[in-house]
Amino acid sequence: MKKDVAVIGAGPAGIAAAIQLRRNNIDFLLFEKDRPGGLLKNAHRVENYPGFPNGIPGAQMVTLLQEHLDSYRITPLYETVEALEYLGEEKLFLITTSTAAYYSRVVVAASGASPRRVDAVDALPLPLRENIFYEVFPILKERGKRVLIIGADDEAFDYALNLGSYNNEIIIAMPGQQVKALPWLIDKAAANPRIVFSKNVEIKGISAGKTKNLCITFSTRGERTEGEVDYLIVAAGREPQRVFYNPLLITRAKELKTVGRLYEIGDLANGSYRQAAIACGNGIRAAMQIAACLR
Ligand SMILES: Cc1cc2nc3c(=O)[nH]c(=O)nc-3n(C[C@H](O)[C@H](O)[C@H](O)COP(=O)(O)OP(=O)(O)OC[C@H]3O[C@@H](n4cnc5c(N)ncnc54)[C@H](O)[C@@H]3O)c2cc1C
């Protein structure tokens, strides 16, 4: 199948791009490997998106984004993009998914940023790893649990606020001395008696617990302690999600972006400026630029 545009990823960036493409009557495909809404499914409350003066839970924003797609009759193709190649001579992109191959003149990559993995955690045996996560989403329905979150940035604190609002007991273990989260989030976490945080924590070992799923051995300022938790969440930052780029495409990406054939938008391209409103703005801008070129 051949289309003018392929949008890869139906997070806020890809959704904004798709809606604007539809408004310009441009023929496109929107690929999504999971479900629309992207990372917002993890967010406790989105409080800086203009138009929601009281903030909005991330899950509710995901529902609204889905409704927005529905209102434009945009149905994503629920397929994982496994490879993206630029076929230079024919000047088309080849998009290979788990089930089919597609061609497009322009690609909008909106695949976001994936959690940075930690080798030592991934090397643990499976029964332990079943209770260790890189996102909060899989355990959002849990109540009355004890959860250790390793991290010091916005995500660690947002995860804590999310779980802490559902009667869970949360410990944020920060590897260093520096807290990197927004003061706004730190103040909210400090005000929640179910959330405690401690600095300079070094994880020394993870094993099976006796009363809870995991036994964590850690050292704080040289003092070694053990504690049991139901779950561990690792919030070690994020990395741009380009695993499906063909190696040649990586080398030609800059040139293709310059001539308006490849657009990288949202968290994929924004470094530390990972925010939904920025991602949406990127999506609308890319779609308007594509419309101007194809017209
Ligand atoms: C805990 C947390 C709290 C946050 N709170 C806020 C907040 O309060 N305010 C705010 O503005 N922002 C917040 N954010 C950030 C915001 O969620 C992101 O900036 C935004 O979701 C980025 O949108 P995106 O579309 O670029 O990427 P993503 O949301 O990551 O979406 C990318 C999409 O691409 C899909 N995808 C990836 N690879 C493939 C593939 N190979 N094939 C098909 N589909 C693929 C993914 O499944 C996903 O749906 C928060 C994020 C987190 C994690």
pLDDT of residue 57: 96
Which residue, 234, 262, 285, sits at the end of a domain?
234
Q: Which of 152, 137, 179 is nearest to 43 (CA)?
A: 137
Q: Which atom of ligand 1 is nearest to the CA of 40?
A: 17
pLDDT in tens, the chain (295 residues): 778 999 999 999 999 999 999 999 999 999 999 999 999 999 999 999 999 999 999 999 999 999 999 999 999 999 999 999 999 767 799 999 999 999 999 999 999 999 999 999 999 999 999 999 999 999 999 999 999 999 999 999 999 999 999 999 999 999 988 899 999 999 999 999 999 999 999 999 999 999 999 999 999 888 899 999 999 999 999 999 999 999 999 999 999 999 999 999 999 999 999 999 999 999 999 999 999 998 7
Q: Which atom of ligand 1 is nearest to the CA of 12?
A: 25
CB of residue 43 inside a 6 A radius of ligand 1: yes
Q: Within this chain, do residues 129 and 216 fall inside the same structural domain, yes or no?
A: yes
CB of residue 38 inside a 6 A radius of ligand 1: yes
CB of residue 163 inside a 6 A radius of ligand 1: no
Q: Residue 37's domain is classified under what CATH number?
A: 3.50.50.60
Residue 94 Cα distances to 170, 176, 260, angstroms: 46, 44, 16
CB of residue 162 inside a 6 A radius of ligand 1: no
Residue range(s) defining the domain that contains residue 183: 119-234
CB of residue 12 inside a 6 A radius of ligand 1: yes
Q: Within this chain, do residues 142 and 123 fall inside the same structural domain, yes or no?
A: yes
CB of residue 9 inside a 6 A radius of ligand 1: yes
Which residue, 212, 234, 256, sits at the end of a domain?
234
Q: Within this chain, do residues 133 and 208 fall inside the same structural domain, yes or no?
A: yes
Q: Which atom of ligand 1 is nearest to the CA of 113?
A: 30
Structure tokens at 184: 């706004």
Q: Which of 19, 66, 111 to mutate to test the pocket of ligand 1 (most atoms within 8 A of CB)?
A: 111
Which H/E stretch holds residue 146?
A: strand 146-150
Q: Which atom of ligand 1 is nearest to the CA of 31?
A: 43
pLDDT of residue 89: 61
Q: Within this chain, do residues 21 and 107 fall inside the same structural domain, yes or no?
A: yes
pLDDT of residue 91: 73
Pick the residue whose CA is nearest to atom 50 on ligand 1: 43
Pick the residue whose CA is nearest to atom 38 on ligand 1: 111
CB of residue 112 inside a 6 A radius of ligand 1: yes
pLDDT of residue 283: 98
pLDDT of residue 32: 98
CB of residue 264 inside a 6 A radius of ligand 1: no
Count the domains in the chain: 2
Pick the residue whose CA is nearest to atom 12 on ligand 1: 275
Task: Round to whole Å and give the CA distance between 145 and 221.
Answer: 27
* b/e per residue 119-141 (b: at least 16 CB within 10 A): eebeebeeebeebbbbbbbebbe
pTM of the model: 0.95
Q: Within this chain, do residues 147 and 180 fall inside the same structural domain, yes or no?
A: yes
For 200, how many CA atoms within 13 A lie in the half-sphere containing its CB? 7
Residues 213-245 have pLDDT tens digits of 999 999 988 889 999 999 999 999 999 999 999
